[in-house]
């Protein structure tokens, strides 16, 4: 299953998740001001983030900064016990990032801020990827 242990691989988002993400980017009450659409598109309301993305290089560190994650995917995986933190709103996962156990409180706070009035779920990376896999019909 792509993306599980390789920080450079990004599995596409299901359509409901993309709609949920876009709704939160457009929501002034949400801290979410950017979303990534693989393989190389950024949707943002933040001109500074758009400029940073256009200059590149688009790597794990840049993605964490642009998407408001407290650590990179590589750091979370490197912890030996990564968790997937999801912000759920509008019928989909509007915010999702990997977190180490040590950064979990910050990751939950970031997810809550991204989905005001929504729910936050902590799960395993494998469960998160299986969900995407199934919704994408892969």
Contact 100, 79 (CB under 8 A): yes
Band (1; pLDDT cuts 50, 70, 90):
very low
Query: How many other CB atoms are there within 10 angstroms of residue 25's CB atom?
Result: 18
Contact 21, 88 (CB under 8 A): no
The per-residue pLDDT for range 76-116, each reduced to its tens digit, is: 999 999 999 999 999 999 999 999 999 999 999 999 999 99
CA dist., res. 73 & res. 98, Å (int): 6
Q: Where are the alpha helices (DSSP H) in the chain?
A: 15-26, 47-55, 60-67, 73-78, 104-114, 125-135
CA dist., res. 51 & res. 47, Å (int): 6
Beta bridge partners, 138, equal none
What length does the chain have?
138
Average pLDDT, rounded, for the chain? 92
Give the tokens for residue 77.
Answer: 């995986």
Band (40; pLDDT cuts 50, 70, 90):
confident
């Amino acid at each position: 299953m792509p993306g599980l242990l390789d920080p450079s691989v990004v599995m596409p988002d299901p359509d409901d998740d993309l709609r949920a993400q876009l709704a939160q980017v457009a929501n002034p009450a949400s801290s979410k001001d950017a979303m990534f659409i693989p393989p190389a598109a950024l949707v943002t309301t933040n001109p500074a983030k758009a400029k940073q993305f256009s200059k590149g290089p688009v790597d794990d560190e840049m993605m964490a900064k642009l998407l408001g994650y407290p650590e990179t995917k590589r750091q979370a995986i490197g912890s030996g016990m990564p968790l997937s933190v999801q912000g759920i709103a509008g019928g989909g996962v509007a915010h999702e990032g990997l977190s180490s156990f040590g950064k979990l409180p910050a990751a939950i706070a970031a997810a809550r801020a991204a989905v005001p009035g929504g729910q936050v779920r902590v799960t395993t990376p494998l469960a998160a990827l299986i969900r995407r896999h199934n919704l994408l019909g892969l």
